[in-house]
Chains A and B, each alone.
Chain A
Amino acid sequence: MPNKNGSVYGLTILSPIINDDKATPSHDLQIRDYLAKLSTREDSPFAVAPGTHLARLVVLDDVIYVGMPACEEHLKSKYLIFESNCDGDLDGYLHGLADAIADHLDAIWKHCVGYPGAANRQAFVDYMKACQLNTTFYFAAVNDKSVEDTLRALQTQTAVADFIATHQGNDPATLQREFIQFATELRARPIPRPGSMGSLRDIKTGGHNE
């Protein structure tokens, strides 16, 4: 099954949410409430844990009825969808999540049926795999670079533009000397933290022209 494209893994997880009429607020609302307060910047759980390019969490309320003559049907459970585009293999990624952000995972998935908690690593990995859907077709525009590779490259792109702009017309010896220094400094520069290159979270609903 094509869960992988190059070195990137396309993880799709569908976890049934506990359906408990006595829960107040209901479990799906508690998940949404937690997610609404979660940072999307460098202190995001997915920035703290290694290897996530892009990820989303979505509560699927129900399937959608498209109208007659199709049949109307409904799900018996709501589902939490976790869609992630990550580096490496699945086991390594799941262990990385459990090691780095167990509290967040527990806070979100404790509302899902049968979630064993992240403390029991093997049970956690087995649970996630039990909820995994195989991807039928997976596309990745850049499929051979890690998150760190991309963050470093974006930093380099900006730095090179600045270097070229400020070194026009230099004589060859000066240009070579300063380039060597520039390249050395750039290599030593820390990689930007994942999620740190964005603006503060501005909630947008995704209107058609946003």
Chain B
Amino acid sequence: MQSRHLPASGKACLVFLAVERDMAALRSGSKPRITAFFCPAATVCDIICSLPSSSLQNAILSSRPGWGSFFPDVRGAMSNINGKVYAMNAITPMKPWKTWIVRGILFLLGHFKSLRQDVVDLSFIEFARWVVLPRRGFPFLGNGQERENLQYDYLLFFSNFNGTWNQYIDAFSAVLSKGLNLIWRWSEKFPGSVPVTNFKQYIALLQFDTDYYYSAYPNAAANDIESAHIVQSSLDQLAAMAERSSPQQFADAYLRFVLEVQCHLGATGDAPVAG
């Protein structure tokens, strides 16, 4: 369990769980047992799923915003990481009139390559997106669904990056501070991306965990993928000329090929342990 997310209230929740099980046992006339403190993580999720009412489950798991991330083990087997990729989700509230400024900035970012060069240079982001979600833009499908009644628009951020959370936020703060400030300064209580300590606290507050994360090539980092395509392209060119050249011509071309791809070779595998 993540110690950063386990304040005293987390322990209180588990106590509450144990008491509930006692009450249920007493009602059935059997001997009460207190087990929640000693259960492995997966079992704790099962205990919650077996509680007699969804309102009780909801009281435990989601009566407060962000509670899910306080109890990663209780919530079940969510995983922000798959191989070398980390899935980050964050949601920030914005006053509706500010939303248009963010839209404008993101429009410029999308249409002028030079403005996003720093993101490209970071080279450990595989995919990322910002989504402006207006307060009246939450999907409403009827069928008993209550329509949302919100004061804020929301900015959703999804990123697929390589490395650890700490490395990512540090690099973001160090390299992209101006860009991040431009985008996030319109969100409520954004402290600025520098100094990084406050920025990290803000992101940790706004982040919510991933329940299921899939990658077609989990052991490859963004640089591995880019390098692999360079090798593939160079190999295809060499293969195309291999059969119609003399041995000496091929040997010269092969040497050029090796020089070209030597910085892009390697094998994919488990991510190194940060430390």
Residues of A within 8 A of B (CB): 2, 8, 10, 12, 14-16, 18-26, 28-33, 35-38, 40, 44, 46-47, 52-67, 70-71, 73-79, 81, 83, 85, 113-114, 130-131, 133-142, 145, 147, 149-154, 156-158, 160-161, 164, 171-173, 175-176, 179-180, 183, 186-187, 194-195, 197-199, 201, 203-210
Contact = CB atoms under 8 A, between A and B. Distances in A.
B42, B76, B131, B152: residue with the most chain A Cβ atoms closer than 10 Å? B131
Contact of B2 (A37, A47, A198, A207): A207
A25 B54 contact: yes
Nearest to B243: A180
B167 to A, nearest CB: 9
B160 A85 contact: yes
Contacts of B154: 63
Given A25-B57, A40-B212, 16 more contacts: A2-B110, A25-B48, A29-B76, A38-B212, A56-B214, A59-B68, A64-B206, A83-B158, A133-B156, A139-B119, A141-B120, A142-B222, A150-B225, A157-B231, A195-B216, A208-B4
Q: Kindly name the residue among B52, B139, B216 whose own CB sees the greatest number of chain A CB atoms within 10 A.
A: B216
23 contacts: A16-B145, A19-B144, A32-B75, A36-B77, A40-B212, A47-B216, A54-B160, A64-B93, A113-B144, A137-B130, A138-B127, A142-B126, A151-B216, A157-B265, A195-B216, A197-B218, A198-B218, A198-B219, A201-B82, A206-B80, A207-B4, A207-B165, A209-B274
Nearest to B232: A153
A157 B264 contact: yes
B44 to A, nearest CB: 12
Interface in B242-274: 242-243, 245, 247-248, 250-251, 254, 258, 261, 264-268, 270, 274
Most buried by A among B208, B214, B238: B214
Given A21-B55, A25-B54, A154-B217, A63 B131 contact: no
Interface in B150-193: 150-152, 154, 156, 158, 160, 164-166, 188-189
